[in-house]
Structure 1
């Protein structure tokens, strides 16, 4: 669990290069750096590298080092970033912090060192470092978890309206850690502001807030618009949310209308499931197993349970285990099925133990031993993409 959380934080860290890749200008850097940074952001790496080498400044070294690491020249790139950080460059300190936070350039992860470097850069006003330091405090990575510190640094980072900082501050405002309470109204507003600037995950969060009336007036029409936008811009969890909204719609007297709503929900679940969202895969499997909104197909149900189970979803592991031990899905594999029941039980699934006991007489001692070994060796594998930077901004619909 700790390793998984560390990987998640590393994936969310904001790099000045990646996060600003869509900008054609370079108004966020010093005047001397702007021609080189503009060239880099427009994809002209050769011109950018040549210009940065000619500048001979600590900040130029930091930018050049990041570019070199990106294209595989890790030794020279790391040397330049280290030199920039040693010279007191906030950009260099931030870049070196990213190296240690993400384990880049062949370096081991050093979360505490990353936090120290982000702090130095953040204290100099470096916005990306402030965002990343706030994120580390939010997740307790390299520093003790501290929601007050997280919010304080993220407020600084978001002061100029940066969408990545606005989104991360929204996440911090949406969480509670006594004595600090959640502020869903502020969170929803921050998600809206970030979404309006093109942040796709913020569009998901704002769409969910609108669908639930969490911190904002409930508005299913607006929710649908933002969720569709998020889904179309690479956030498959938005399709899951759209499916859930369709399922929760009040029943009509018109059976045809109810059937249509159900088919819409299944279509959204299928999109999310194909996008790798385990909860959507589980719900789609349930639909196939029960013949709800789709023809009954236990084999299809087993396939989708398996995909969700491989990602570590405990309810899918239990359902798959029952199908494989009982043969209700069309194929019987007692050892494999018992493995999934063991994993569901060990993950704390409340009724997993009862399900395993009920089916125990269908599993031989030999298969139990094999299942134990399989369960011991199991490691969940996520289907969702793991990006090493923030999502690209999109053009919001009006």
Structure 2
């Protein structure tokens, strides 16, 4: 499952994005006079929210914070920032949280300042502000604006998840699933947290819980249940779940029934195709492997090279290595030593154990000019991702039982 976990990294990091959602739709988390305005704001009606906030007879610091947020959203940066700063200076947890978001994102014309954001999140979190607790735990988990500290991350996320919020529960599961001395991973706790968040409709949690069930990691192995959760995740905007479903099919033990084995192989390929089409790099890599080997599909080196190229462009080291070899040897019909050396240099930089040996072995057959051009291209390379890198907290969806 190592390759699948690697491929999921981007999505799972993005899933712990700084939260600007995660609030009750009825605005029960704010003072009663503010609720109509906050409900309107959370429903996307900024104009109504602004009118309601401005109509308050004696605005509070929290009202200033909310009005500032509304103004920032509609582009009135100077006035919005002034109100948020005033609210924060007055000790409003909402104001401190909103100002922290400004610094973490580099909004309102201010430069990004993660360290300052951490200070402000700490002040708001200490007052019991749930989103600030979630964001503070996330920053400790990432090591953003502060030294990475799983113990601190877990402590803040425990507080954020105390009311059962799905986003905080998932984030706590992520923190419990990793190990960084002196903190040890707790797969049993992590699996339980993923389950609880998944049952509330958090589809990245459904992905994680499905993977735990498939592997028997922290929970009794249950392949049918794993498949149900993974299919739900895949059908609700998590294409990495298709990769996990393909891996599940591949791990199915072979039998003497050739037809059954072929059916399982075709199922795996269908899931890999779905993942590849959606932009999951390891799905693209595994589909390319199938075309190169003629496993379950007619052998087609040109198709293999195409899928290796898409995964390599996203930075997948294994695909960069495979693409470099194909371009060096002309497996798909044409050689390109410059591009071959570029991808081999990148694969070596990414830690692939065979890249350097392949490059050095072929070095005497490639002119120095081409080698240098390949190295220069590798130095200038920047990955182009097909999947969104950071969409913020995902929407919750109804769960099928």
Q: 2:350 aligns with which of 343, 347, 351?
A: 347
Paired position in structure 2 for 1:265? 268
Tell me, yes or no, if the aligned pair for 1:310 and 1:380 is still in contact at 8 Å. yes
TM-score, structure 1 normalization? 0.94
Structure 1 residues 226, 12: CA separation in 2 closer, same or farther (over 3 Å shift)?
same
Structure 2 runs not aligned, ≥5 long: 1-8
Q: 1:76 aligns with which of 74, 79, 83?
A: 79
How far, CA to CA, are the matches of 2:327 and 2:141 in structure 1?
41
* Superposition pairs of residues 57-136 of structure 1, within 5 angstroms: 57-136=60-139
Paired position in structure 2 for 1:47? 48
* Superposition pairs of residues 185-196 of structure 1, within 5 angstroms: 185-196=188-199
Q: Alpha-carbon deviation of 1:7? A: 12
Deviations 1:214-258 (A, max 9, x none): 111110111111111111111111110000000100112111111
Paired position in structure 2 for 1:13? 17
How far, CA to CA, are the matches of 2:76 and 2:130 in structure 1?
27
Tell me, yes or no, if the aligned pair for 1:9 and 1:136 is still in contact at 8 Å. no
How far, CA to CA, are the matches of 1:194 and 1:78 in structure 2?
34
Structure 2 residue 185 is the aligned partner of structure 1 residue 182: yes
* Superposition pairs of residues 161-310 of structure 1, within 5 angstroms: 161-310=164-313
Deviations 1:230-288 (A, max 9, x none): 11111111110000000100112111111111111111111111221111111011011
How far, CA to CA, are the matches of 2:142 and 2:44 in structure 1?
34
Tell me, yes or no, if the aligned pair for 1:12 and 1:388 is still in contact at 8 Å. no
Secondary structure of 2:55's counterpart equals helix
How far, CA to CA, are the matches of 2:103 and 2:14 in structure 1?
10
Q: After the TM superposition, which of the residue ranges 267-276 and 110-119 deviates more from structure 2?
A: 267-276
Q: Alpha-carbon deviation of 1:70? A: 2.3
How far, CA to CA, are the matches of 2:107 and 2:279 in structure 1?
26
Q: Alpha-carbon deviation of 1:47? A: 1.0
Deviations 1:152-201 (A, max 9, x none): 11111100000111001111111112222111111101010011111111
TM-score, structure 2 normalization? 0.93
Q: Which protein, 1 or 2, shows the higher relative CO under an 8 Å CA cutoff with sep ≥ 6?
A: 2
Structure 1 residues 288, 172: CA separation in 2 closer, same or farther (over 3 Å shift)?
same
Deviations 1:26-58 (A, max 9, x none): 122221111111122233222111112223222
Deviations 1:45-104 (A, max 9, x none): 221111122232221222222222223332222222112111111011111111111222
Structure 1 residues 293, 9: CA separation in 2 closer, same or farther (over 3 Å shift)?
closer
Secondary structure of 1:192's counterpart equals helix
Tell me, yes or no, if the aligned pair for 1:85 and 1:96 is still in contact at 8 Å. yes
What is the count of residue pairs matched by the alignment?
A: 391
Structure 1 residues 326, 274: CA separation in 2 closer, same or farther (over 3 Å shift)?
same
